Structure 1
Amino acid sequence: MSKPKVSIVRCDDYNAPDLYEKVCEAASAVLNADALIKHGTKVLLKPNLLFGTPPERAVTTHPQIVRAVGEFVKDRGGELWIGDSSGYGSCARNMRLSGIEQVAKELGAKIIPFTEPVDSGHADLKYARNFRIEKAVLEADVLINLPKLKTHGLTYFTGAAKNLFGCLPGLQKGKTHVRLPDRENFSAMLVELNRIIKPQLSIMDAVVGMEGSGPGSGDPRKVGLILAGVNTFAVDVVACEIIGLPPHDVPNIRMAAEQKLGPESLNDISILGEKIEDIRIPDFKLREPADGLKRLKHFFMKVAGKVLRTIIFEVPDLKTKKCNKCFRCAEVCPIEAVRKSARGPVFDYKSCIRCYCCQEMCPEGAIKLKRKLIF
C-alpha cells in the first residue's frame, strides 16, 4: 500500500498576494484536482466554525483560506457550497462574525447551515452507529475539509479528523458528549466518524494556529504553514509533529493507527514540500495538563488509568477576573452541571462528565482545566 501524501507549504500571511497559488500548490501536490473537480461538481467546504469570533482570534478557519479554496473550486467549474454546524450559536451568525459569510457572497457560494440530519446507515459501528449526518455532506460530490490547527481540552489536538464532528447537526454533539464522556471512548467515536465521512481533501489552516487553552480560548500562534492531504489522520500526524505533540499521545490518532486507518509515524507518510526539521516549533504551548500526561507510558495508563480516573479528574476552573458572566458555559453544558450565580458560574464537579464544552466555548478564556481529587 502506498504511503499517504501530506504537503507542507510556507505561508506567513493571510493577505499574501500569492495565497491562492500556495493553496493550489498544497492541494495539487496530493491529488489531481482537475480530475476531481469538473464543471458542475458539487463541492462542499467544511471549515472549523466553532463559534462566531473575528478571524484574528484564530478560533475559526480564516476567511481568506476559505476564499482561496473557494476560488480553487470555482476555477475548475465546481458548484461551491460552504457549511458547518457550530458548537455554539447559529451558523449564519457565526459565518457573519468570522468573515466567512462575506467571502461566500463574493464567491457566489451557497451557504448551508447544517440542519438536515439523515441516517448514516452504518449499523456495524459501535460508537457512531446511530449518528445522523448532515444531508449536504452526503449529497456533495466532493467534500473539502478545512480544519484549523488548535489545541483541545478533551482530545488534546483538533485538526482534520476532529473537524468532521461538526458534520453532526443540532443537539447530536452535546448528546454524544453525554453518551461518551470518557476521552478514550470519545476518541474511538471520532475514528468511526472518519470511517463514515471521508473527505476527498483536507486543507489545514496553520498560518496562525491556537496554542494553550484551545480550541476556543487559547492564544493565536503564528505557524506559517498550509498543510494538505487526503488521509485526515496523516494530516494530523504531521501537524502534531510540527508543534511538538507526539501523535500517539492524541488518542484518536493512536487508535486510527492501530486500526490501519492512519499512519503510525512520519515514516509512514510521504511528505512533500517543506522538511519537518526546518519548521518545528519547540515552544508551542500544548494544552497544559497534556504535558504531564504525555510522559506516561500507554501500558501504565491501561493498568492504572481506570483507578486514577475514579479519584483524579481534570475539571473546569473559573478565573473570575476574566469572566464577564455571559453564562455561555451554562447554556452549552449538556447535563446542566453549571449553575448561574451573582459571582459567576458554579460547577457541580460530581455531576460534571468532563466533556469540557464550557471551557471550549468560553469567549473570554475564563475557564481553565485543573486536576482535582473528587470522591
Structure 2
Amino acid sequence: MSKVPVAIVECDSYNREKVDAAVRTAVGLLPEFTSSITPNMRVLFKVNLTWQLEDGRSITTHPSVVLAAARLVQECGATVTLGEGSGWSAHPMWRKIRSLMFERLHGTMKGRKFHELEPLYDSLMSVKTVSELSRFTHPDTHEPLVRVEDLGIGSDIDVFSNAGIQDVADETGARLAFFDTEETVEIPSPTARYLATVPACKSIAEADRIISLCKIKTHDDAILTGGIKNFFGIVPTPVRGGFHSTSKFGGMINEMLVDVFSVVKPPPMVISDAVVAIEGKGPIFGEERRMNLILASTDCVAHDAVMCALTGKDPMEIPTVRLAHESGLGQGLLENIEVRGTPVEKVAQPDWKFSLNPE
C-alpha cells in the first residue's frame, strides 16, 4: 500500500511573500494536489473564522495563508469561493432576524388569544436556517417578514471583513459565501454514528473540489482541531448549537464531528496555518504557540495525524482522527503516512498544553 503524503514547510512569519512561498512549496511537494484541480472547477475553501479577539490573538486562518492558497488555485484555472459559517459571529445575526420579525408583527397580533399566539411565538423562536424564513409572512401583506438582504450584514456580523478575508476576496476576485445565510441541503451521513443526515450549506453541495484552510488549535471538546473539525462550520449556526449540546450531553461529540466531515465530497484536501497555533484553552481562549509551519495534504485525516505528532499526541488518542480512520475517511496511522519536506522530528513540539485529556 502506498503511503499518504503530508507536506510540512517552515515559515517564520505572516509576511505575504514568505507565506506565498511556503504554501507553494508545500503544495509543490504534493503533485496530487494541483493535478486534481482543473480549469473551470468550482473550488471552495472552508476557512476558519471562529471569532475576532480584541487583543489580537491569532485564532483564525490568517489572510496571508488564504491569499496564497486562493492565488495558487486560480492559477490552475479554477474559480474560488471562500466560505465560513462562524458560530460565534452569527449569533448577532440571528438576534437581529428575530428582532425584525417581532418588530414587523408588532400591532398585528392584538386580540389574538394564547392558544393562537403560543405556537406562532414558539415557531419564530425556533427558526434555525435562513431557508425557513420564507414561511413567515406578514398577515396583511403576505410578504416575508425578513429577507436576507434586510439584514445589513456588517460590523459585528461580517466575519469576512473582521478577519481580513474581505480584502483577500477584493484582491483576488474570489466569491464569499457566508454559510449561515445560505439554503441548506440534507446530505445522508456515510458514517451515521450520531447523525443520519447533515444539513449542510448549499456551497458544499455545489463545489467540485473542497479544501480545508484550517488553523491548528487545541479544542476544549475535540482536544485538537485541524482539517476534520474545521468542517463543523458547514452546518448553520443554530442547528450546529443543538448538535454540539446534545452530542456533548450524550458523550458523542466526536462521532458527530466525524459524521459532518463524512458528507464532504469529494474527500477534501487541506492547507493549514500553523505559523502561529493555539494551545491551552482553545479554540478561542488559548495562548498563541509559534510553530512557524505550513502543512498541506490531499487527506485531512493524514494531515490531522501529523498535526497530532507535531504536538506530542498519538493520533489514535484523538477521537476525531481515530474515528475518521476507522470509518475509512482517510489515513490516521503515522506508519502509513509519508512526510515530505521538513521531518516531524525537526519541528515537533511535544510539550503542548491541552485544555483536556482524551477520554
Bucket of the pairwise TM-score, normalised by the shorter protein: 0.7 to 0.9
Instruction: Determine whether 1:13 maps to 2:13.
Output: yes
Give the conservation status (yes or no) of the 8 Å contact 2:51–2:159. yes
Question: SS where residue 180 of structure 1 aligns?
Answer: helix
- Give the Å deviation of 1:132: 0.9
CA deviation vs aligned residue, 1:174-196 (integer Å, no higher than 9, x gap): 01023212585111122222221
CA distance in 1, matches of 2:169, 2:198: 28
Say which of 188, 197, 203 aligns to 1:121: 188
Q: Which amino acid aligns with 2:288?
A: P
Report the equivalent of 2:326: 258
Q: Which amino acid aligns with 1:215?
A: P
User: 1: CA distance between counterparts of 2:289 and 2:268?
Assistant: 28
Once the two structures are TM-superposed, the CA of residue 273 in structure 1 deviates from its matched residue by 0.8
* Bigger mean CA deviation after superposition, 263-272 or 146-155: 263-272
Say if 1:53 and 1:97, in contact at 8 Å, map to a contact too.
no
Q: Does 161-170 or 183-192 show the bigger shift?
A: 183-192
Contact 1:55–1:99 at 8 Å: present in 2 too?
no
Q: Does 1:158 align with 2:158?
A: no
Q: Secondary structure at the match of 2:211?
A: strand
Aligned Cα RMSD in Å? 2.1
Q: Which residue number corresponds to residue 215 of structure 1?
A: 283
| Cα deviation 1:323-354 (Å, max 9, x = unaligned) | xxxxxxxxxxxxxxxxxxxxxxxxxxxxxxxx
Q: How many residues of Structure 1 are paired with residues of Structure 2 in the alignment?
A: 291
Counterpart Cα distance in 2 of 1:189 and 1:40: 33
Q: Tell me, yes or no, if structure 1 residue 193 matches structure 2 residue 253.
A: no
SS in 2 for 1:70: helix
Runs of 4 or more consecutive aligned structure 1 residues displaced over 4 Å after TM superposition: none
CA, structure 1 residues 80+151, in 2 after alignment: closer, same or farther (shift >3 Å)?
same
**1:56 CA displacement:** 4.5
* Letter matched to residue 100 of structure 1: I
Aligned mates of 1:86, 1:209 — CA distance in 2: 19
C-alpha contact (below 8 Å) 2:232/2:261 kept by paired residues: no
Task: Decide whether the 8 Å contact of 1:52 with 1:95 is kept in 2.
Answer: no
1:111 corresponds to which letter in structure 2? L
Which amino acid is 1:265 matched to?
L
Pick one of 162, 169, 188 that aligns with 2:236: 169
- Quick one: distance in 1 between partners of 2:262 and 2:31? 20
Partner of 2:74: 74
**Partner of 2:164 in structure 1?**
99
Q: In 2, distance between residues paired with 1:222 and 1:56?
A: 15
Matched, 1:181 2:248: yes
Matches within 5 A, 1:262-341: 262-287=330-355, 289-290=356-357, 294=358
Rounded to whole Å, the distance in 2 between the matches of 1:46 and 1:104 is 14
**What's 1:59 paired with?**
59
2:303 matches 1:235: yes
Kindly indicate whether the alpha-carbon contact (under 8 Å) linking 2:20 and 2:64 is maintained by their aligned counterparts in 1: no
Q: Provide closer, same or farther for how the CA distance between residues 252 and 234 of structure 1 changes in structure 2, counting only shifts above 3 A.
A: same
> Are the aligned partners of 2:27 and 2:34 in contact in 1 as well (CA < 8 Å)?
no
**Larger RCO: Structure 1 or Structure 2 (Cα < 8 Å, ≥ 6 residues apart)?**
2
The one-letter amino acid paired with 2:85 is: S
Contact 1:247 1:265 in 2 (8 A): yes
- 1:184–1:251 Cα contact (<8 Å) kept: no
What is the aligned-residue identity percentage?
34
Q: Within 1, Cα distance between the matches of 2:74 and 2:326?
A: 38
The structure where helix makes up a greater share of residues is 2
| Cα separation, 2, equivalents of 1:15 and 1:248 | 35
Offset at residue 54 of structure 1 (A): 6.8
Q: How far 1:59 sits from its partner (Å)?
A: 1.2
Moved more, 138-147 or 51-60: 51-60
User: 2:7 touches 2:340 (CA, 8 Å); kept in 1?
Assistant: yes
Letter in 2 for 1:276: V
Give 1:279 shift: 0.6
Q: Which moved more, 1:47-56 or 1:160-169?
A: 47-56
Distance in 1 of aligned mates of 2:270 and 2:190: 26
- TM-score, normalised via structure 2 length: 0.76
- Whether the aligned pair in 1 keeps the contact of 2:195 and 2:259 (CA below 8 Å) is yes
Q: Which has the larger radius of gyration?
A: 2
Structure 2: distance between partners of 1:89 and 1:19: 27
Which ranges of structure 2 fall in alignment gaps of 5 or more residues?
91-152
- 1:211 Cα shift? 0.9
Partner Cα separation in structure 1 for residue 2 and residue 251 of structure 2: 29
Q: Give the AA of the match of 1:75.
A: E
CA distance in 2, matches of 1:52, 1:175: 23
SS of structure 2 residue aligned to 1:57: coil
Distance verdict in 2 for CA 1:34–1:240, change over 3 Å = closer
Superposition deviation, residue 52 in structure 1: 3.0
Quote the Cα distance in structure 1 between the aligned partners of 2:183 and 2:36. Answer: 26
How much has 1:44 moved relative to structure 2? 0.9
* 3-state SS of paired residue (2:252): helix
